[in-house]
Structures are given as C-alpha cells and as structure tokens.
Structure 1
Amino acid sequence: MTEPKLEPAQLLATRGILVAAVEAELKPRRTVRRVGIGALALGAIAAVVAAVVALPPSAGPADPSAEASTMLRTAAKAANDPTVADGQFLKLATTAAFLATTSLDGRPESTIGYLDARVRETFIPADDGARPIEMTTYVEPTVFFGAGAEAFAARDRKRAAEAATDAPRVVVAEPDATRPVEDLSLMPRDPRALLDYLVDFRYQAGSSDENVFAHVVDLLRSGTVKSDLRAALYEALALMPSVVITEQQTTLDDRRGTAIGLATADGASRQEIIVDPATGEFIGVRIVSVNGVGEIPAGTTLEYTALTASVVDRVAR
C-alpha cells in the first residue's frame, strides 16, 4: 500500500461523541505514562476485567491475511443496526481501562503498573436534536504488575476520587480542533473506494496501514456508525494484506469474538479489533504489548475498550 497523500483534499474523521468524552477524561495523570503504544495510540481506553491480560500465542494459519479477509467479509454480511423508536435511547455501555505505569527509580527495568478502569454509559436519544446523557462509574483496580503497584494505584485512585463525579451529565460534543469534521454519509460504501479514501488521509503519525487501521478503529468504537458503513469498513480492512487474525477465539468483557490485528511499524505492540463473525457485532479494541517492559510482561493488554449497544426506554443504571 502506498503512503497517503499529504494534500488535505478530503476531511478527516471525528472520533465521535463517546470517543471524545473518553479521551478527554482518561488522559494519564502525573507519573502515569503509556507503554509501547507507538503510532497506534488510541487514547486511554480498555476494559474492566480482572482476568487476564496476558494473551497466549495463537498457532496462526498458513495464510493469516486470507483468513482475516474471509472472516471480515462474513461479518460484513451479518452487520445490522438496533432500532431506536421515538422516546427511546440507544445505550452505549463502554467498559474501559488503560495500563497506568511508573518507574520506581527512573529505569525501564523497574517499571510497574496497574489497569486503571471505569465503566461509561452513554444514552443517545432517538431525537437527533437532543443531546446524549452520560454516566461514569469508577472501578477499583484488580490487575497489578510488580511490587509497589497496589500502593501506586491507591495513590492514583485517591486523587481521581477527589475530582470525580458519577452524576449524569449532558454531553456537549466538541469538535477535534486538529481534524476537520467528516460527514460519514459521504464516505464510500464500496470497499475498494473506501480503502482508497482512508489511505488518502494522514490520520495520525505512522505508516499508511497504521493510519487506515487507526481511522477504522476510531469510527467503530464511536458506537454510532451505521451498519452499511460498518460493513464497508470490515471489507476495506479485508483488502489489507497486513491485517491478520491474531486469535480465533478471544474474550473481551465476557464476550467471545475473533481478534483482527495490525502490528506497529516498530513491532513493539499490536492493535486488535474484536469482532463477532456470526453477527457482525463490533465487540471492542485492544492494544497488546509484544515485548513487555520492567514488570509488565510480553503479551500484556496495554489498553482496550469493550462496547455494548442496546435500546432502552429511559436513562438509568
């Protein structure tokens, strides 16, 4: 795939109401820093599960890109939208976390960390003119790496608790000043044309493939992409030889799907989209450390988001 053109002939994508709110709230605090994300950094997102952040290596098919292509095309055919009637809400429940880290003595070898987690619920009214309502619940961390990580988490959580509120609030969507607003209705639905469209953007720093993958991730995780565009995005990814199946069966927020991944150019991490091939449901995304650092082992999930969409009659927990 060729490098993207630098002329701003087309509009870049917004991250969507949910993504903008998540990124604004989950930025690292003080000594917290991100590990090994590289050009695929998503902003701070990932799920609240105490289990298992170390991923077993998968055997890998003979032609992983061809298998990913087949799976994504199957998912595209199954993609559908929930129906939200007048007076109802589309509820987007996002369980999210990122790996907060610090170094005990300034050396990478002494890096420790924990998963900083929360649950966000966004209620989008059927009325397009009404603003979404959002609630956030902070979750006590349960996943730690290294001696001293629990004390580090306790200090961090105390600061967060002093500033946090989980009261419902109306979401005011602020455009990303660094990226022009994109009209999703004008994006091509033909997979090849859509891929060309995505390649032409310099969405963020990094290679053309990384830019395309990151662009697709941000669109999907907004939770508001209609099924026709979601299907086209799956099929556009299927045209990329660098996109491969990294796990046939993986669990994210208690739901099982197939992980479709792309490694960073430096090989330090990989970003994965989790999709249910039978239903076309976008389950979530995660970033996985390939090498590890300090007390953070290779195969650790650095951050991830799990998204569930449902239709409800009222705003409630």
Structure 2
Amino acid sequence: MSDNFTALRSLRRDHDLPPETVDASLERAWLRFETAARATTVRTGGTAPARTAPPVRWLRRSRPALLTGAALVVASGLVATGVGVTHWGSPESAAAATLHEAAAAAAADRTPAGAYTKVVESELSMVSATSDGEHYDEGYLEPTTTITWVPADVSATWIRETRSGEPTKFFGGAAARKAASDDGATEPSAPVRERGVSGDFAVGELGGERAGRLGASDIADLPRDPHALVRRIEAAPRAVDTTDELHVFDTISGLLRTGLVPADLRATMYEALATLPDVVVTEEQVSLDGRRGTAIGLPHWSRTEQHDVIIDAADGTYVGERSIQTRRIGSIPAGTVIDSVTVRVTPVDDQP
C-alpha cells in the first residue's frame, strides 16, 4: 500500500497537482480500503443471506447502485478516485472536445430570468413486469409529461402538473399487458396537480430532495470552478460502494435534469464532466422528442445499462438523458432505450 501512495505522490509532481488534493484523496482511498477489509473480515466464515424471490407485481425501473468487491474498492480508491477524478486519465478526445465546446456556448448564454422557471419534462420510461414471479422479464413503455413552475426563491411554493399517456410499446405478452391494465395505464388519465414548499412533492424526480444529497436548493452555492465542483460532489452522500467517477456523473446528470442550473454553472458542469477519465461520446447525433444532441456517457455505468446525458454543443443546451439496456433481459432486447427524457426550460412571470 505504501508503494502505491508513493507512486501517487510522484504522479502529483509530474502533473503539478496540488498537494492537498493528493493527500485528501489518499486519505479517502485508505479509509475505503480499511472499510472494505473490515467488511471482508466480517463476511469470512459467515453464511450468505437467503435470497427471496421478487413478488409477482410490476415496478418502475430504478437505477442500480454500482457494487464492488474489496479488491476493486482498493483499485478504484488508488486509481479511478485516488487523486480526484478531475486529474486522472485522458477522456476520449471527442467527448472532451464536445464538452469544452458546449461549456463555451453555455457560458455565453444570456437568456433572461423570470419570476418563475417553467420546466417541462417529456419522459418515456419502462414499467417492468414479471411473468414467473421471479424475473422482471416483460414490460411496456409509458409516456409522462411533467410541468413544474419553480419560483426564483426555490424555498417558496412550487407547482407541478403531471400527465401520463397510454403505453407506446409492449415487450412480452400477458404479464406486460396485465401490468398496464392494473396500473390504469391503458385508460386516459386526468392531469394531477400538486403544490410543494421548496419543491417537496410526494414523489418524482424534481423536488423532494433526500437529506444530504445535492439538489435544487444547493445550486446557487455550488462552485463555479470545475475541480472545486468535483470535490464538492465527491464529499456529498452517495449510494454505497459507488465510485467517485460514477457519483460525479450521476450527480451532475441529476442536477442538469432539474432545468434550474444557470448558464455559468452549466458551463462548469460540462467542464467537470470533461475531466472524468472514462467519459466518452456514445453517439454523435441523438434525437429525443424532436430535439437533437450528442450523447455523453460512461461505458461501464452498470452491468446492464448505459446512461447518457444529451447536450447540444452548438448552444450549450442540456437536451435530456437516456438509459439503454445493454443485454437482453427476457423479452426486452439489448439496445432498448428503457428511459429517456427531454427537458425544456422557459422563464415565465406567473404560475398557473
């Protein structure tokens, strides 16, 4: 372990990295190593918990945590996250160039602000179903439109209107169609309107922040320097065993999706993404809900999914995001876009 620390400090000298950055990262890596080692010791000689079969019901897809073993924790602590992901590796040139171009365009954005921000999310997401009570091997795609009016003072009352549409595509047979019927997805639905102080709605992507997680209320105070922003994100709570790189990518993706990130911070976020060692252009031109952009992602976001953010490099606009299933699961083939969302932002003077 001491040899690895020495190598990292030598790398700092070669790349002129700040000593405090290296020392802090080494400390994080060491703490992760100790935690992983203790967990491995506790597990040794024990018995694995019994597996329980999933209930016979449908559920919405949720993003999986990236799990790692003790050895991988050590490796990621000393390599992928050892000196802060902002200083390691060379991202794919196409990804870095696209992000730099988008950052420059975003920094030049002079869109006027309004008393409120109207955020329109158009989403198409997979609702999963099980045909055998154990495997979620069928599903259907359901469109949802969410309109949120956010006051300039985000601690004031937000208004949100949500409308779901009928399924656009089924994967599988009876289980998927029964799930849609049980959920009422096959019948026209009236829009649901909610009010929430500080955006604290009952459910949903926008508002209702988890304690300690970075969200809309933190946006105003986030650093406008990409390296400082990455360090701030790294210090925030995260899912268990999530790498720094994945944590930074997902946090920035989530904040961009709010539609509330001002132009200067959006530029900083693009520059921060450009520093991630494994970020790549996954597709040069993507069309989402009639809007086009470049897909930027991490190739190993999870074992079964690829997650991308879509940006228009020409004007620095955040178009949206998507998740693609990378291997066949039951009736859902590899390459299926299991979730996509476009975000349109407009300054307005009033709430409805």
Q: Same fold (TM over 0.5)?
A: yes
| Aligned residue in 1 for 2:118 | 91
The SS at the match of 2:59 is: coil
| Aligned residue in 2 for 1:113 | 139
- Compute the displacement of 1:5 (Å): 3.7
- Compute the displacement of 1:212 (Å): 0.9
| Aligned residue in 2 for 1:78 | 105
Equivalent residues of 2:167, 2:185 under 8 A apart: no
Give, as a single letter, the amino acid of the residue that structure 2 aligns with 1:120.
T
| Aligned residue in 1 for 2:286 | 250
Q: In structure 2, what is the Cα distance between the partners aligned to 1:4 and 1:250?
A: 41
- Compute the displacement of 1:107 (Å): 5.1
Q: Do structure 1's residue 184 and structure 2's residue 219 form an aligned pair?
A: yes
Tell me the alpha carbon deviations over residues 151-187 of structure 1, each in whole angstroms, 9 at most, x when there is no partner: 43122226997xx752543233335454266633332
Tell me the alpha carbon deviations over residues 2-48 of structure 1, each in whole angstroms, 9 at most, x when there is no partner: 699499xxxxxxxxxxxxxxxxxxxxx982235584227xxxxxxxx
Residues 1-317 of structure 1 aligned to structure 2 (within 5 Å): 5=28, 31-33=57-59, 37-39=63-65, 65-79=92-106, 80=109, 82-85=111-114, 89-106=116-133, 108=135, 111-126=137-152, 130-148=156-174, 149-157=176-184, 166-172=191-197, 173-174=199-200, 176-179=209-212, 183-205=218-240, 206-264=242-300, 266-315=302-351
Larger helix proportion, structure 1 or 2? 2
| Aligned residue in 2 for 1:47 | none
Give, as a single letter, the amino acid of the residue that structure 2 aligns with 1:188.
P
The SS at the match of 2:229 is: helix
Q: In structure 1, what is the Cα distance between the partners aligned to 2:266 and 2:230?
A: 13
Tell me the alpha carbon deviations over residues 274-299 of structure 1, each in whole angstroms, 9 at most, x when there is no partner: 00110111111111111120000101
The 1:184–1:75 alpha-carbon spacing in structure 2 relative to 1, beyond 3 Å, is same
Give, as a single letter, the amino acid of the residue that structure 1 aligns with 2:130.
S
Q: In structure 1, what is the Cα distance between the partners aligned to 2:27 and 2:94?
A: 26
Runs of 4+ more than 6 Å apart: 1-4
Unaligned runs of 5+ in 2: 1-21, 32-54, 67-89, 201-207
Equivalent residues of 1:36, 1:289 under 8 A apart: no
With 196-205 and 207-216 compared, the bigger mean Cα shift is at 196-205
Which structure has the higher relative contact order (CA within 8 Å, separation 6+)? 1
- Compute the displacement of 1:106 (Å): 3.2
The 1:305–1:168 alpha-carbon spacing in structure 2 relative to 1, beyond 3 Å, is same
- Compute the displacement of 1:315 (Å): 4.5
- Compute the displacement of 1:239 (Å): 0.7
| Aligned residue in 1 for 2:69 | none
Q: In structure 2, what is the Cα distance between the partners aligned to 1:119 and 1:278?
A: 26
Tell me the alpha carbon deviations over residues 69-125 of structure 1, each in whole angstroms, 9 at most, x when there is no partner: 11011101111363234xx532111112321111212354x7110012210111224
Equivalent residues of 1:223, 1:309 under 8 A apart: yes
Give, as a single letter, the amino acid of the residue that structure 2 aligns with 1:183.
D
With 168-177 and 266-275 compared, the bigger mean Cα shift is at 168-177
- Compute the displacement of 1:269 (Å): 1.1
Tell me the alpha carbon deviations over residues 252-272 of structure 1, each in whole angstroms, 9 at most, x when there is no partner: 111000000113465321110
Give, as a single letter, the amino acid of the residue that structure 2 aligns with 1:286.
R
Q: In structure 2, what is the Cα distance between the partners aligned to 1:33 and 1:236?
A: 34
- Sequence identity (%): 32
Equivalent residues of 1:269, 1:289 under 8 A apart: yes
Equivalent residues of 1:93, 1:119 under 8 A apart: yes
With 119-128 and 30-39 compared, the bigger mean Cα shift is at 30-39
TM-score by length of 2: 0.67
The 1:263–1:178 alpha-carbon spacing in structure 2 relative to 1, beyond 3 Å, is farther
With 149-158 and 275-284 compared, the bigger mean Cα shift is at 149-158
Equivalent residues of 1:82, 1:310 under 8 A apart: no
Equivalent residues of 1:259, 1:273 under 8 A apart: yes
**How many residue pairs align between the two structures?**
268
Unaligned runs of 5+ in 1: 8-28, 41-62
Give, as a single letter, the amino acid of the residue that structure 1 aligns with 2:127.
A
Give, as a single letter, the amino acid of the residue that structure 1 aligns with 2:227.
R
The SS at the match of 1:67 is: helix
Equivalent residues of 1:37, 1:287 under 8 A apart: no
Equivalent residues of 2:102, 2:313 under 8 A apart: yes
Larger radius of gyration: 2
